[in-house]
Structure 1
């Protein structure tokens, strides 16, 4: 392009700019500004924004005044005087471009930079520059200076993947933009010119030199005094040594994004540009407690083991916490939705079905060798932990507390596997279940989320609450695009639910498979451990009156064994989560429904205990089903012989 032609073109641009009512590129109104959608938790706390870039939008009032001044001083000191185009700066740029014979220097104002960031690519051509000027004038006609500065500070790139000052403040100084000091503000304000070069994490000396330029310019413009500039220059700054972008609750957020992908034709475009407000069921306080508990528990084993934790409010189905793995960056696979064998954590569904079929907590079953013939497969001989038997009777409450396998399989045979499946499905299990007796020991695959949901009726007086991610989605004008309410259904009698809860409280008491929870958690809890064959998976699913949580621990490589029981590894993770997550909430007791009674019974025969009874246990019954006949002692019982194992050694 000749210099004459270049001058003529610039002259035409200036004339067009001066014309009143000029609209960019034939538009009939101001250009749309794409606004990322905001995902918030159940308490309206921001979880994240959904954008094609990493950004955390923030209002101008929540940006330190020093940061606002610093960016204006170094990027566009006449920002409040011009109307989008600074003719002094443009004149300097024109002179330099004429000398170079091309567009070599921009002289861009903050408004121009915003127009470029919002609508244009990075190419440096005359056509792009003309369109940039058009959009700049439109922005100035549409928005106030404060609004333009706010948008600019939310869009400008500060390096290390951080778009916007809030993301930059968190990335480099681990604080919000409202907390930035003058020294930190001046250092950040110097980054947009060359973010990769001036990044304080990689070139601190260069960042300090650039900070000095910003502070000097602020002093020249009398935004700050020379004394304040000196103090800021001498301020001790410690940028984060390692910059990791942290997205809160990434596995949960991924499910929200998937919802929009699957339910809206232009779902991702809506999320990126429509400024939706998406209120979810998540509770960030519980989420952080879940992430910390899982991470610490897995770290106690080794760096390769993985796991998951999901928590639900049983009264409404709100998913309050979801951790699909130990590290989102390494693996985006959500293990709370993975089908896995739950081991003995599946047994509460069996005992629920049995109690509703006429058995009681004091019904007795003898633990002894038994073999079942099965059509189309080998005979099945269940054994207890490490292959032994107890050769003694157990009441059902004790059998569940110590997780006796043989008693569970015999019970499944008595009520039928189809009955077990019917109850498990009614309580919330959706995965396919195989109608074999071994199902009682958790040999069919289910997800941790399903397990948490299906334990819910036990905590919620027999009422199932289907899981919920979303509460409400609104657009920028506040119009409701979708809204969800709890989906509740009574699936078991509240008295049966309470009796099973009482039985599961024994499992977390001294003598149970998760006895350590009796001193780890300072509130009423109930739950069940699970360990699959050869220690491949470890589980604990449990609940308080207000929260149900499922913990799974295992390797992604299915050939590797955890080598620990659910009581060893999963239960402590669960306990730490509950104790930390609910520490600010008042303790609640499990509600006792009308029509149940409590009775002390002998563990030997399930009869009413007397002064002569040696081994007894408190159990709960539907009124009228409690034992009437007395127990006269159990010295006659035969002790375990072939395995040498006691109750504490049974399958966990």
Structure 2
């Protein structure tokens, strides 16, 4: 009689499952959360972004046969034979469940488990099991066995925050699931029933016991032979616990933060910020960035070479990008991203910016040339000058000159503040600010005369991009940090589309480049410490008000790089006792720039800059009689001698 009751229960479940018709069924992989990954331009992984679930889906073909065999052996020995419901298993479960008041024990096939995880949840009531059985039958009619296993093994929980076999393999063994051994596969299969209680990180002995049970099931079902069984039993477990997320270290962390910020601020990836957060951290995206790991390492090495003392030396911000594409190839936003201070993760290459010093002067020069001013226009360049201000304002006192008069080329090469102050007034500050914005500066700039000397804040990224416009003969290309984004299935979610805009005539841009070449390698150049030995380069120094900021921004045809040096608090001056010497743009920043750009160009072809049109701004023949020689460097630095205790000069 008892056997008849058991059989009746099993048959009732089977019959009910066959007749039950759910409203809908979605036999495709649900949109379960998957971890996203950020890659460098060479395809190397920078970091993985986890949401609430650490999951990376893989295909059935990525799963080794011994993993499939292990899972089937321990979870559903008749998986390849039944149609979604295993009557023999149901009878066995019913025998244990009679009198329990419900369905309290297994008998569920892998297909039923997949339905439970993916579609209906873990409902152990009789109605819940009937719905599960019906959906399992339909799933088997719709999908192949292989696809069902793929869905199942990508969805179930394996403990320690790992969902799916790929995340589990990475979590416990530090490798892809395609690389795991038979022993490791048996461990994972054993975790399906006990994901927390038998995880090998916290409970190694239990994990081994579960592994051995799985191996025994495989032996009994003739999925492995005895020799393999005994050899695998004797193997130890090489567990490689993952580094806690808070302690994970990865390259270019400030850059990675900017990529995440760009994504979360972009409405193309979701109507609301919450939508974008879910997609970024749970969409299984593959984000391919522009960062070059070798150039990134070289930028950090250049900083450490020139300013090696992390405790006492000032901070350094560096951005390098390609002028013709805008692709950001290196970004250094600070020395110790993983430090414990509140400001450790603040990106000094971005943020609200810092005072640009005289590195702003080329924007004023571009304004003057665009207004038709000849290059041989001369301005007085005394050591000090006073300029009346409108509206009853205090007169503007400017220091930093060294010549009775200088033309536009000489006053740029020697960075004469007094001459440039007069030029700024002549072109109108509002026009110069508009030019800076057209060239690539995005931060707000007040249209005041003092902007020519760097009173306004700019970012390192913007300066690299604005100077890249000169390198690109007047074509501005917006900076880009991401080349493309792929969905989890490999299709393209987003692809960068190249943009460029003519913001300055090629003739004027190439003329400015010609002048900035002299600012590095010409007579009296303030940027001579940035000179590259094997190729032409153009650039300009900058020293901020009160010596709180120092810059060198320069470029070759292949790479535009901005270097900023200063203290994070924006109030500490770059002078003794804070630094060994008083720091100017032609000192530490120029040296860091050269220490980076030299190795960055090793093995690269040498390209010259485009020749400027001689009829537009003729270059004076011979030397400029008003220009001091290198020997009179103290003059062009406004009286500051270039010696072992002084780097650069006011306005440099």
Structure-1-length-normalised TM-score: 0.74
Q: Determine whether 1:290 maps to 2:301.
A: no
What is the deviation of 1:29? 6.4
Q: Distance in 2 between matches of 1:270 and 1:638?
A: 55
- 1:346 maps to 360
Q: Distance in 2 between matches of 1:297 and 1:164?
A: 42
**Residues 166 and 176, structure 2, Cα contact 8 Å, conserved in 1:** yes
**Residues 17 and 130, structure 2, Cα contact 8 Å, conserved in 1:** no
Q: Distance in 2 between matches of 1:589 and 1:17?
A: 74
Q: Distance in 2 between matches of 1:560 and 1:106?
A: 69
Summarize the Cα distance change of 1:507–1:644 in structure 2 as closer, same or farther, 3 Å threshold: closer
SS in 2 for 1:79: coil
Q: Distance in 2 between matches of 1:589 and 1:282?
A: 26
- 1:151 maps to 151
Q: Determine whether 1:649 maps to 2:648.
A: yes
What is the deviation of 1:637? 6.9
What is the deviation of 1:239? 0.4
SS in 2 for 1:381: strand
**Aligned positions of 1:631-650 closer than 5 A:** 631=625, 640=635, 644-646=640-642, 648-650=647-649
**Aligned positions of 1:420-439 closer than 5 A:** 420-439=432-451
- 1:605 maps to none
From 610, 621, 625, the counterpart of 1:592: 610
Q: Distance in 1 between matches of 2:600 and 2:86?
A: 54
CA deviation string 1:438-472 (max 9, x = no partner): 21233323344433432231121211123456777
What is the deviation of 1:312? 4.3
CA deviation string 1:612-652 (max 9, x = no partner): xxxxxxxxx96734336875996997955985522843256
SS in 2 for 1:371: strand
Q: Distance in 1 between matches of 2:491 and 2:618?
A: 56
**Residues 303 and 316, structure 2, Cα contact 8 Å, conserved in 1:** no
Summarize the Cα distance change of 1:112–1:270 in structure 2 as closer, same or farther, 3 Å threshold: farther
**Residues 342 and 530, structure 1, Cα contact 8 Å, conserved in 2:** no
**Residues 115 and 136, structure 1, Cα contact 8 Å, conserved in 2:** yes
**Aligned positions of 1:285-364 closer than 5 A:** 286=292, 289-290=295-296, 293=299, 297=303, 301=310, 312-318=321-327, 327=337, 338-344=351-357, 345-356=359-370, 357-358=372-373, 360=375
Summarize the Cα distance change of 1:567–1:472 in structure 2 as closer, same or farther, 3 Å threshold: same
- 1:612 maps to none
CA deviation string 1:378-424 (max 9, x = no partner): 4433446xxxx757877766765676655544443343322311321
How many residues are paired up? 615
**Residues 324 and 334, structure 1, Cα contact 8 Å, conserved in 2:** yes
Deviation larger for 450-459 or 524-533: 524-533
**Residues 14 and 85, structure 2, Cα contact 8 Å, conserved in 1:** no
CA deviation string 1:108-127 (max 9, x = no partner): 43333333333345675555
Q: Distance in 2 between matches of 1:633 and 1:400?
A: 11
Q: Determine whether 1:490 maps to 2:502.
A: yes
What is the deviation of 1:104? 3.6
Structure 1 unmatched runs, 5+: 597-620
Q: Determine whether 1:380 maps to 2:396.
A: yes
What is the deviation of 1:34? 1.8
**Cα RMSD, aligned residues only:** 5.2
Summarize the Cα distance change of 1:73–1:257 in structure 2 as closer, same or farther, 3 Å threshold: farther
CA deviation string 1:166-189 (max 9, x = no partner): 333334444333333334433444
**Residues 10 and 91, structure 2, Cα contact 8 Å, conserved in 1:** no
Q: Distance in 2 between matches of 1:404 and 1:59?
A: 65
- 1:624 maps to 618
SS in 1 for 2:30: coil
SS in 2 for 1:649: coil
Q: Distance in 1 between matches of 2:162 and 2:13?
A: 34
What is the deviation of 1:316? 3.8
- 1:15 maps to 15
**Residues 403 and 627, structure 2, Cα contact 8 Å, conserved in 1:** no
Summarize the Cα distance change of 1:481–1:221 in structure 2 as closer, same or farther, 3 Å threshold: closer
What is the deviation of 1:280? 6.8
SS in 2 for 1:370: strand
- 1:256 maps to 263
Q: Distance in 1 between matches of 2:156 and 2:539?
A: 50
From 413, 416, 423, the counterpart of 2:425: 413
Summarize the Cα distance change of 1:625–1:512 in structure 2 as closer, same or farther, 3 Å threshold: closer
What is the deviation of 1:592? 1.9
- 2:31 maps to 34
Q: Distance in 1 between matches of 2:429 and 2:626?
A: 35
Q: Distance in 1 between matches of 2:374 and 2:68?
A: 72
Q: Distance in 1 between matches of 2:566 and 2:626?
A: 46
Structure-2-length-normalised TM-score: 0.74
Summarize the Cα distance change of 1:372–1:246 in structure 2 as closer, same or farther, 3 Å threshold: same
- 2:115 maps to 115
**Residues 9 and 94, structure 2, Cα contact 8 Å, conserved in 1:** no
Q: Distance in 2 between matches of 1:257 and 1:12?
A: 52
Q: Determine whether 1:239 maps to 2:240.
A: yes
Structure 2 unmatched runs, 5+: none
**Residues 282 and 320, structure 1, Cα contact 8 Å, conserved in 2:** no
Q: Distance in 1 between matches of 2:600 and 2:632?
A: 45
What is the deviation of 1:368? 0.5
Summarize the Cα distance change of 1:236–1:577 in structure 2 as closer, same or farther, 3 Å threshold: farther
**Residues 403 and 650, structure 1, Cα contact 8 Å, conserved in 2:** no
What is the deviation of 1:369? 1.5
- 1:60 maps to 60
Q: Determine whether 1:461 maps to 2:470.
A: no
Summarize the Cα distance change of 1:9–1:532 in structure 2 as closer, same or farther, 3 Å threshold: farther
**Aligned positions of 1:44-59 closer than 5 A:** 53-59=53-59
SS in 2 for 1:500: helix
Q: Distance in 2 between matches of 1:471 and 1:219?
A: 50
Summarize the Cα distance change of 1:536–1:211 in structure 2 as closer, same or farther, 3 Å threshold: farther
Summarize the Cα distance change of 1:120–1:301 in structure 2 as closer, same or farther, 3 Å threshold: farther
